[in-house]
């Protein structure tokens, strides 16, 4: 390739050498990988409340997605540097109404999530400790800004990105995409008299529509994080056709989100990525690191027509710019 480049151009030997070096460097950059590390309740397993994932760009930008209940607070040693947190919606198992005291506490099918963090939430506490941005859509940014301010943080760290727009954090371009779910803020997250009144009435506060995310990394990888959702037309027209997502993190838990069959339809027929990672299975999906036969996760992995990779807690998977897992899967 490099010799063909020199022959087809009239560059001097110096310019040709510089061009060759540039091409080689570009090839090296393109070969760099995105690291995806699930942060679940039990090392080496995929358990009941596991949603959280840490995604690291080749340039070192680190994004925490749906911290939920399985990140053991801001002091969780697995976190390291965090540049931004994403929250798909305000339900406690995603924003973090409580969390594990440490990895391995309780059982995989019943993790110990006894550490209470309301009304602040696990997400806000982590953002404060890490001096990280919280990037959300809908009406969620105002809520998080208020929380940050009340705790002595910078409300400007809560940043908005709505459908059709984008925001860049380091090497990662972030946009939100529609999800079909609910997105109320529970009274316990608000606190005070208003929170008590909402709880007493069985109501939640308005937070706008829930979201999924599309992330474009510096190596060219495009990843779709579904959040809690059903099947949507945008999964084809926006996620598949417009952005061309090559890696999908798909919630499969049924009842509250797409079930394994519906989620497989999204992957196989609407988005057609190169790889998929199941998430939010609402079950003990593995035992000894192997998928439990007959589980929702097992059904999903058998139904999809692309490689499906188990999100075993603490195991880092690395994906190239085309969405192929090159190590850790």
Q: In the chain, pLDDT over 70 holds for what percent of residues? A: 91
Q: Is the peptide bond before 119 cis (omega within 30 degrees of 0)?
A: yes
Cα separation, 240 vs 255, whole angstroms: 25
Contacts made by residues 322-325, CB under 8 angstroms, sequence distance 24+ = 322/220, 322/221, 322/246, 322/274, 323/221, 323/222, 323/223, 323/245, 323/246, 323/247, 323/273, 323/274, 323/275, 324/274, 324/275, 325/275
Query: What confidence tier does 7 reach under pLDDT thresholds 50, 70, 90?
Result: very low
Asked if the model's pLDDT at residue 17 lies above 60, the reply is no
The pLDDT score that the predictor gives to residue 28 is 44
Sequence-separated (6 or more) residues with CB below 8 Å from residue 286: 45, 46, 47, 108, 292, 297, 310, 312
| This prediction's pTM | 0.90
In tens, the pLDDT along 30-77 reads 459 999 999 999 999 999 999 999 999 999 999 999 999 999 999 999
In tens, the pLDDT along 153-163 reads 999 999 999 99
Structure tokens at 300: 């999903």
The pLDDT score that the predictor gives to residue 8 is 29
In tens, the pLDDT along 169-204 reads 999 999 999 999 999 999 999 999 999 999 999 999
Query: What confidence tier does 10 reach under pLDDT thresholds 50, 70, 90?
Result: very low
Asked if the model's pLDDT at residue 274 lies above 70, the reply is yes
Q: What is the DSSP string of 114-154?
A: -EE-TTT-HHHHHHHHHT-EEEE-TTHHHHHHHHHHHTTS-
Q: Are 6 and 16 in contact (CB under 8 A)?
A: yes
The pLDDT score that the predictor gives to residue 133 is 98
Structure tokens at 295: 């589980």
CA atoms within 13 A on the CB side of 121: 31
In tens, the pLDDT along 228-270 reads 999 999 999 999 999 999 999 999 999 999 999 999 999 999 9
Question: How many Cβ atoms are within 10 Å of 197's Cβ, its own excluded?
Answer: 12
Q: In the chain, pLDDT over 90 holds for what percent of residues? A: 91
Structure tokens at 121: 């939430």
In tens, the pLDDT along 127-140 reads 999 999 999 999 99
Query: What confidence tier does 167 reach under pLDDT thresholds 50, 70, 90?
Result: very high
């Amino acid at each position: 390739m490099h010799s063909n480049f020199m022959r087809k151009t009239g560059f001097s030997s110096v310019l040709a050498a510089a061009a060759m070096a540039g091409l080689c460097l570009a090839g090296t950059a393109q070969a760099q990988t995105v690291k995806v590390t699930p942060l679940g309740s039990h090392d080496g397993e995929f358990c009941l409340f596991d949603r959280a994932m840490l995604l690291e760009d080749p340039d070192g930008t680190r994004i925490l997605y749906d911290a939920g209940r399985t990140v053991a607070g801001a002091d969780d040693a697995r976190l390291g540097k965090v540049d931004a947190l994403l929250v798909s919606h305000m339900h406690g198992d995603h924003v973090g109404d409580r969390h594990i005291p440490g990895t391995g506490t309780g059982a995989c099918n019943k993790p110990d999530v006894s550490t209470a963090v309301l009304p602040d939430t696990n997400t806000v506490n982590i953002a404060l400790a890490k001096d990280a941005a919280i990037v959300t859509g809908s009406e969620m940014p105002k809520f998080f800004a208020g929380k940050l301010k009340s705790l002595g943080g910078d409300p400007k760290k809560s940043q908005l990105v709505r459908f059709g727009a984008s925001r860049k954090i380091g090497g990662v371009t972030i946009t939100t995409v529609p999800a079909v779910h609910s997105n109320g803020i529970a009274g316990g997250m608000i606190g005070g008299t208003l929170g008590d009144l909402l709880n007493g009435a069985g109501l939640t506060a308005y937070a706008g529509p829930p979201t999924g995310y599309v992330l474009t990394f510096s190596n060219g990888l495009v990843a779709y994080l579904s959040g809690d959702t059903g099947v949507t037309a945008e999964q084809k027209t926006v996620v598949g056709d417009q952005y061309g997502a090559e890696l999908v993190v798909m919630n499969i838990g049924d009842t509250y989100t797409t079930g394994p069959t519906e989620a497989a339809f999204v992957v196989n027929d609407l988005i057609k990525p190169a790889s998929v990672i199941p998430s939010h299975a609402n079950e003990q999906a593995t035992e000894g690191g192997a998928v439990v036969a007959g589980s929702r996760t097992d059904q999903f992995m058998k139904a999809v027509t692309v490689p499906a990779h188990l999100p075993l807690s603490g195991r880092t998977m690395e994906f190239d710019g085309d969405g192929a897992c090159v190590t850790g899967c």
